Structure 1
Amino acid sequence: MVSCECMFGIVLLSAVVMSGVVLAQPGLYPANITTCEQFERGARFNPYEIVDSMWKIFYFWSNTTEVYPIIFSLAAKTRVQKFRDVFETVSPGEEVEWHKATLVMEPRPGIEVMFLYAGTPGAFRAIIKHERRTKERPHPLPLIKFADVRMKLVSRFLGMMCCEDLTAFALVRVGEIPKTEELCEKAASFIGYQGHPGRSYISIMNDQKEEEL
């Protein structure tokens, strides 16, 4: 397994470091931090409600985040088989319940995350495949990582939590992104997460503008 801090550092290639914020190490988490068990309690999640839309992380409780839109799609049999073929080349002998493949997340070309149903609504074992596209020929085999992920829908918002490091992300469809810091914080509160310091996409934009000056 791999922490989702590492997961998003691999999957989300434009990761942004939170200025002056370092997440606690295991055993040193805030006393009131939300656990995955608390996060998923009574959760509502239907994969059909999040496909065919572009999603944006507008608030995050993590050192890294994706700044570009994210696409989810259903795990079609042909796509699962193609993913499986690559996986078994990289990790032969690894047991995976491929029949539980439900969703695929695409943050950008060359990156795929396959979500395998883990027994309760929104609970997934995530397999991350990161193509290593270099000038070398032939290209090196992709990187393969695992993560334990929880997702839930609250109103129009999608919450995603990573169980290894207890980080979390709040997403919304691209056309519905909150426009102010206050609205971001209010919308993020619906996800039902507390613990790590939070930050909005607006603060990242402001940081980037300052760097350009």
Structure 2
Amino acid sequence: MVRFPGRPVDVVAHSIGGFAVGLAPSARQVRRIVTVGAQYAHWRDYAPAARLPMLLRWHVAMPALARLLGYLPARRLGWMEDTPAGVARDWSRMAARFEHTLRDGAALPARFAAIGAPILAIGLEDDPFGTIPAIERLLAYYRASARTHLRLAPKDAGVAAIGHFAFFHERFRETLWPLARHWLETGALPAGAPGRIVPGGAARPG
């Protein structure tokens, strides 16, 4: 059912959500996209200082627990929400090119390339998942989109840490949320926006 006919469709996506947008056949109807820490968990993109612990967690412990228990009890471990076994296995084996990982993935890059919505990709400097290589790897699939990769440091919001998850916390209502809102309303960053733009656009994934 169409609840708001004639209204534009905008998307805000976090982490793997920025990847999921490109999988949706209807995504070509989207007007503008904001992503936060969006990537698809290829281990070579993890922050160097966190790479070994994350390799052990995401690519050893996660699939092993999912196979043993039939699901990933992530909440009890303090990692995230409990996760179906199939999802945990897919995350744990993401290759440098996602179409080499997913079943029947060969046609997926064309689906991403059909999306023309401009993208504001927000990356946090203290996010071990959403590093510059990780975000650029995903952005490269949105070939028809104008892509702006904005890097924010915790100091830009007057805090000591933000990380992968905290952008959407209520305490950032007045400092970080307006960046996303202004982009969705106008297609541009507000004057004097904090952070830095990654130059050069998205490179070819490889």
> Quick check: TM above 0.5?
no
TM-score (norm 2): 0.27
**RCO higher in structure (CA 8 A, sep ≥6):** 1
TM-score (norm 1): 0.26
Structure number having the greater strand percentage: 1
